[in-house]
Structures are given as C-alpha cells and as structure tokens.
Chain A
Amino acid sequence: MVKLRLISELSGHEDRVWQASWDCTGNRLATCSGDKSARIWAPIASERFFKAQQHSKENISDGSSNESMDVDQTSASTWQCLDIIDNAHKRTVRSIAFEPTSSKAVATASFDGTTAIWEKEDDAYECVATLEGHENEAKCVAWSPSGQLLATCGRDKSVWIWESNGEGDFDCISVLMEHTQDVKMVLWHPINDMLVSFSYDDTMRVWKEDDDDWYSAATLTGHKSTVWGGAFSPDGKYLASVSDDRTIRVWTQSNDDGSRASGADKGFYYKPDANFKCIAVVPDTVHSRAIYSVSWAGAPAGAPATDLGYLATGCGDNSLRVLKVTAAAGEDTGVTVELVCEHKDAHGLSDINCVRWNPVHFGWLATCGDDSTVRIWNLDLSQD
C-alpha cells in the first residue's frame, strides 16, 4: 500500500500559501503567499534529511485519521526559513519560481500586476528587475528549461514571453492574446521551448516559436470548466491538466494528420501544427471539489518501462492524492491512471493550493494550503 507520510510542517506565512517551487538542487523551497511575501526554506541538514527516507516504522500513518499525523519528533526543527522577501509587492504574491539551471535567481508574480526577479546579494535577496505590463493581476510566472526565457500570464487574458538580455534584465518579446478569459497558469515543456497556458475559458493553449515569432500551435479543449494548471511528465511526452470540473486529463502529442480547425481555434497567431490528443480522463468522482494543482514525478530508478511515474493533486476538498500512471499494454500511447493514495485533511480543513514533487530527491513532496502552512511529505512505496 502506498502511503504519504507527513514529515515537516513549515509555518511562518500569515495568509494562505499559494505556490511553492523547488530549486535545481532540490534542497531549497521557495513559497509565496497572500501575506505579500515570499519565503525561502531549507532543511537544516539537507543531505541527512532527504536520505532518511525510512523514518522510524512506529510513525506509520495510513492517512485516514484526522488527528495526529506522524510528524517526526525532531522535525519541527529540521527545516528553517532562510529568507523572507517582503518588500516588493503591494498585493498577494501569487506565483514563485526558482531559475532552473543555477537557481541563483527567483521570480515572483503578484496580483499587483508585476513580476519581480530576485538575486541574493550578501545576506538578503535584492530585486534586480521588475517586469511590468499586465493590466491587472499577474497569476503565474515560469522559467524555460534553459533559464533564458520567462513566461507570465494574468487576468488580462494574455501570456507574455520575456527574454533575458544577459544583464539580469528581461525584454518582452511577445504578448499573446488568444485566450478569451483569465489565464491561470503557464508551464514550459521540460526539454523543448514550448509553452502551455491554462485558462478560465476552459481551454489550454500550446505556444511555439518560429524564428522568434511566438504563435498558438494548438488549443486543447475538453475540460468543462476553468483549467487551473498542469504538469508535464519529466520526459515531456505527456501532459496532465486539472480543472474546476474535478477531472484530470492526460494528453500526448499524436502523429495523425487530422487537423482540428474549429471556430474556437481561430486566432491571429494560430498555426495548427501541434496535435495533442486526450488519452486518459480521471473522472469527477475521485475529487469532490475543484482540483487546483498537479505535479508529475518520474518513476523511481529500477522501475519497469511501463511505469510512467506518479501524479500528486491538491484539491479544494482538503485531500492530497497520489495517482500512478502506467503505460497501457499493447497500445502506443494509451495510459491508465489509478488512485493509489488519498490523504484526507492534508492541511487540516483547508484547500490545498499547490503540490510540487522534488525534482531531484524522489518521493518528496511539498504542498501549500489555505491554512498558511507548507508541508513536506514522503512517498512510501514499500509494501508492508
């Protein structure tokens, strides 16, 4: 039986925590909150913390009881808050992302419409650039895998692409206005320079570039309500999306040439050359309220080739869930997604806003909730 054990609880934020981002080493975590600040956290002794995968067996919890969680006795002191960034944004900080190659820089996007880039000078984080342009709340910021491009999106229905000019500052290279409503999240493909945006208009859009011109390469329809976010599998072959309609959809790029030109796809920057098809849907009976976040962890070392990893979801019904993705036997692109662990009241009686698997240390998960805390979990796959 797969279990999720609560290992640490990070308190400090004074309002709901919206998002978390692991750095490139997997040893630091950045979080942002409605209290207008961002915080950087790390375990006091990273090597020991992440290697101790088997915490004492007495601390087993199957996740179904509300009251005590198996918090390791000493865990209250094993994480510390390294930095607090609280002097730039005048409103909620909605999104935060560590630069993926060296994690020297961290970006924050705020309801005040701006995106700020921070770097640590001496002892504190300094704001090295402020990116303005969104007409109202900015909702997400994401770095491309090379660290050269940044994407932001917001309630003004637009997706902005920025390029690093080498001196710590960013130039806006594209403003994409194809969504018909609020854009909730932007996500880069882990390998190629391809961007996906998720929107209140119930669709997702895939963006590619052709000679520095960014265009909409596909519109993914299927969700019946706001698409809150998504995650690529670490090899970039699959995309999972989650929505207010309480379902998870898994997509992959298909090779068939049938292009779908429907009215919804027309747009100024639209060239339908990317074909995505939905290959699996987790029905709305699994999650009982809107799903706000999903993260995809690759399979652990030594797993069979059909093991495509684990999805973690954060939901408005207070539960944290883990689903196993397996390649369907005999089919080229089919997958099955199966619920393997459900941890109720993961953040007490509060919504879970964000879930993020550690990109380096397998099985470690960070979650953020409306209860103003950040929690660190460990996935226990051992069968006992």
Chain B
Amino acid sequence: MNITQKINDAPLVYEVVSKARDIQQSDFDDAVSDPVDSEEVYELIRNINDPEHPLTLEQLHVTNKEHVFVDDSANRVLIEFTPTIPHCSMAALIGLCIRVRLLRSLPERFKVDIKVREGTHQSEEHVNKQLNDKERVAAALENTYLLDVINQCLATAV
C-alpha cells in the first residue's frame, strides 16, 4: 500500500491482558453443545493486524471484548469497533477485515452486524452503512487488490 503519510502516526498502544478460559468438565463431554459466545468471537478478531502499524486491533483497543455481542440461539453477532482517531480513513477497511475474518471462521448461520462504536468516528453512519450492505461487501471482496490488503491484516489472526 503506498502510504507515505500514516493516518495515525502515533497511536496509543495498550497492554494486552490475556486471561485463559477456565477449563470445565463439560468441555470434554461431546454430548454438551457449546454455544458460540462473545469470548470465542473475540478470540477470532483480537489479533487482526492494523493496516498501518505492526500492532493488533486489541493492542490499539480498536476491538474490545466488552463490545462483542453474541446471541447463539438467534444466530446474531454484533461487533462494535473503535477507530483510534475520529477521522480515521481506515475505519471501513478495518471493519471489512473483521467481517472477512468472521465470514471465514463462523458457521454460516450467523448474521453479523459490524458497527463503529457510537460517537467515535465523524462518518460513523457512512461507514456503518457500507459495512452492512451485503452487496457492497460482496463486490469489494471481488477486488483482488483489496483482498490482498485484507489478507495481510488477517495473517496474524490465527
């Protein structure tokens, strides 16, 4: 990507607090179904790389565990992400990376809504509308150049 001037030259970097999930007896029982919960979805997106810096979305507090809402029985997921600065032009790209990550990892039954956290971006409605228009997303993902950029961001999200 030809960026000579970064959108956000000096982002705030936060420490990652990693808490391992407590293993329970029921985890080993195949008869017990484990619903998808916000922790599991957060695991999928926390390590996505920022397009500009060699840092994860978690380190930049762009994605936060508290802002991942999952309703397994209704097959709904809502992710609210927080761009580092209100005029971040990468917001749509970051949202798209989250969407692609979940498209590739979550069961097909889930309807995923991705929104900018309210009040954190000057064009949040504009960004939200694009991210949640499935035709626009489908067309964007046919753009090989864009797909390369997205795949680079997702390379760290193993």
Q: Do A and B interact? A: yes
Whether B75 pairs with A349 at a CB distance below 8 angstroms is: yes
Whether A350 pairs with B142 at a CB distance below 8 angstroms is: no
Closest-by-CB residue of B relative to A349 is B109
Q: Would you call B129 an interface residue if the criterion is a C-beta within 8 Å of the partner chain's C-beta atoms?
A: yes
Bound form: Cα–Cα A17–B111 in Å: 18
**Chain A 86-119, CB within 8 Å of chain B: the 1/0 string?**
0000011010000000000000000100000000
A256 to chain B, nearest CB (A): 34
Whether A350 pairs with B139 at a CB distance below 8 angstroms is: no
Q: Would you call A359 an interface residue if the criterion is a C-beta within 8 Å of the partner chain's C-beta atoms?
A: no
Task: Tell me the number of A-to-B contacts counted with CB atoms below 8 Å.
Answer: 34
**Chain B 120-158, CB within 8 Å of chain A: the 1/0 string?**
000000000100011110110010000000000000000
Partner of B139, one of A92, A317, A349: A92
B134 to chain A, nearest CB (A): 7
Q: Would you call A182 an interface residue if the criterion is a C-beta within 8 Å of the partner chain's C-beta atoms?
A: yes
Interface residue range, chain A: 20 to 34
Bound form: Cα–Cα A66–B109 in Å: 14
Question: How many residues from B make CB contacts under 8 Å with A?
Answer: 12
Contacts of B133 in A (CB 8 A): 200, 226, 244
Whether A184 pairs with B135 at a CB distance below 8 angstroms is: yes
Whether A92 pairs with B142 at a CB distance below 8 angstroms is: yes
Whether B139 pairs with A137 at a CB distance below 8 angstroms is: yes
Chain A residues proximal to chain B, CB less than 8 Å? 16, 34, 91-92, 94, 111, 136-137, 139, 155, 182, 184, 200, 225-226, 244, 289, 316-317, 349-351
Chain B residues proximal to chain A, CB less than 8 Å? 75, 108-109, 111, 129, 133-136, 138-139, 142
Given contacts A111-B138, A155-B136, A225-B129, 12 further A-B contacts (CB under 8 A): A91-B139, A91-B142, A92-B139, A92-B142, A111-B139, A155-B139, A184-B135, A226-B129, A226-B133, A289-B111, A349-B108, A351-B134
7 chain-A/chain-B pairs, Cβ below 8 angstroms? A94-B135, A111-B139, A184-B135, A200-B129, A289-B111, A316-B134, A349-B108
